[in-house]
C-alpha cells in the first residue's frame, strides 16, 4: 500500500510540474515569441484596433456552442505596442459595446505579459467593455488600422459591408493609413475594393492563419478560413509551417507598403511593430 501511495504521489508530482512548466514549454516551442526587432516612438499618431463582436463558436446557422470572440493576445499585443510607442489607441468592434474575449485565450497556458497587463488595466478594460461601433468612425482619421483575429472574426469581419467600405475609403484617405491584421482578422480585408471596383488585395502578398493550422486544431466549422478567402480574393498568400502551425509565425509587408499582415496569434507583436516601422519610415511631409 505504501508503494502505491508513493507511486501516486510521484505521479501527481510529475503532473504538477508539467502543468507548472506548460506555459514555458509552449513558449519555447514558438507560442507568443518575444519581438526582437526595432521599436518606434510615434507621438501624436493614432491607431485603431478593430475586433469581432461574435461570441459563439458554432456551425453557420446554429446559435449554441462554446464561447468565443477575439483572441486576447491578438488584441492586447498590438494595443500595447501602439500605446507604448506614444500613439493614441482607440478600440472598436463590428457592433460596438462589449467585446467578447475568447475565455481560453486568457487561461494560464495562453497567458502573456500583455494579457496579464490587460487584466490589471482599467482604462483598456473600459475600452473593451464599451468599444466604439465601426459605423461611428472615420477610418481616415487614423494612421494605423489593425484588425485583430480570433474565431469570432470568421463570422463577422468578412461579412461586414460597413467594414469593407471603410477599409476601401481608408486606403484612399489623405493620410494613407497603414492597414493590417493577424490571423482571422485579415478576413476584414477580403471585400474591400478600389475605385474601379476591383478587390483591393488582389495581387498583394498577404498572410493569415493557414488552412493547415485550422485543420490541426480541428475547428473547421467556422464559415470562413483566412487562407482560403485570401486566395479567393486574389491575394498572393504565403505562410510558414511548423510541426504544428500553431507554433509558426510569419509577417508580410506588401510591395506598396500599405498592408501588413500576420499569420496567427504568434505574429501579433511583430505585425504591430512592422506597421509602426512602415509609418516611421515614410518621408516627412
pLDDT at 80: 99
Indicate whether 166 belongs to any domain. Answer: yes
Indicate whether 23 belongs to any domain. Answer: no
Handedness of CA 91, 96, 98, 100 (dihedral sign): negative
Question: Domain containing 275: what range?
Answer: 39-281
Cα dihedral 270→180→172→38 (10° resolution): 0
207, with CB counted inside 10 A (0-12, 13-18, 19+), is: buried
| pLDDT band, residue 103 (cuts 50/70/90) | very high
Indicate whether 218 belongs to any domain. Answer: yes
Indicate whether 5 belongs to any domain. Answer: no
Give the least confident one: 16-20, 77-81, 240-244, 252-256: 16-20
pLDDT at 101: 99
Indicate whether 170 belongs to any domain. Answer: yes
pLDDT at 24: 82
**How does pLDDT run across 218-266, given as a tens digit for each residue?**
999 999 999 999 999 999 999 999 999 999 999 999 999 999 999 999 9
Indicate whether 3 belongs to any domain. Answer: no
Integer Cα distance of 237 and 207 in angstroms: 5
Average confidence (pLDDT) over 53-76:
96
Indicate whether 6 belongs to any domain. Answer: no
**How does pLDDT run across 139-197, given as a tens digit for each residue?**
999 999 999 999 999 999 999 999 999 999 999 999 999 999 999 999 999 999 999 99
Q: What percent of the chain has pLDDT over 70?
A: 92
DSSP letters spanning 171-202:
HTSTT--EEEEEGGGGGGGTT-B-TTS-BTTT
Which is more confidently placed, 13 or 22? 22
The CATH number of the domain holding residue 97 is 3.40.50.880
Angle between the N-to-C axes of helices 72-84 and 268-280, in degrees from 0 to 180, rounded to the nearest 10: 30
Indicate whether 259 belongs to any domain. Answer: yes
Hey, what's the cell of 216?
490541426
Integer Cα distance of 194 and 147 in angstroms: 19
> How many structural domains does the chain have?
1
Amino acid at each position: 500500500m505504501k508503494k502505491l501511495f508513493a507511486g501516486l504521489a510521484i505521479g501527481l508530482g510529475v503532473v504538477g510540474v508539467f502543468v507548472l512548466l506548460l506555459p514555458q514549454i509552449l513558449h519555447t516551442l514558438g507560442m507568443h515569441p518575444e519581438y526582437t526587432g526595432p521599436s518606434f516612438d510615434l507621438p501624436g499618431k493614432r491607431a485603431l484596433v478593430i475586433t469581432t463582436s461574435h461570441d459563439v463558436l458554432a456551425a453557420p446557422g446554429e446559435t449554441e456552442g462554446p464561447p468565443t470572440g477575439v483572441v486576447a493576445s491578438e488584441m492586447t499585443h498590438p494595443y500595447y505596442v501602439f500605446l507604448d510607442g506614444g500613439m493614441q489607441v482607440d478600440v472598436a468592434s463590428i457592433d460596438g459595446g462589449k467585446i467578447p474575449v475568447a475565455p481560453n485565450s486568457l487561461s494560464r497556458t495562453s497567458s502573456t505579459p500583455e494579457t496579464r497587463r490587460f487584466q490589471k488595466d482599467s482604462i483598456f478594460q473600459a475600452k473593451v467593455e464599451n468599444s466604439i461601433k465601426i459605423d461611428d468612425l472615420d477610418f481616415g482619421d487614423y494612421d494605423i488600422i489593425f484588425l485583430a483575429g480570433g474565431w469570432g472574426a470568421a463570422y463577422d469581419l468578412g461579412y461586414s459591408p460597413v467594414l469593407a467600405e471603410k477599409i476601401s475609403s481608408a486606403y484612399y484617405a489623405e493620410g494613407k493609413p497603414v492597414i493590417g491584421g493577424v490571423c482571422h482578422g485579415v478576413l476584414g480585408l477580403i471585400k474591400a475594393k478600389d475605385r474601379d471596383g476591383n478587390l483591393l488585395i488582389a495581387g498583394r502578398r498577404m498572410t493569415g492563419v493557414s488552412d493547415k493550422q485550422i485543420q490541426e486544431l480541428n475547428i473547421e466549422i467556422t464559415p470562413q478560413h483566412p487562407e482560403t478567402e485570401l486566395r479567393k480574393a486574389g491575394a498572393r498568400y504565403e505562410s510558414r509551417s511548423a510541426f504544428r502551425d500553431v507554433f509558426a509565425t510569419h509577417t508580410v509587408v506588401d510591395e506598396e507598403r500599405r498592408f501588413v499582415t500576420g499569420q496567427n496569434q504568434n505574429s501579433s507583436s511583430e505585425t504591430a511593430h512592422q506597421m509602426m516601422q512602415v509609418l516611421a519610415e515614410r518621408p516627412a511631409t
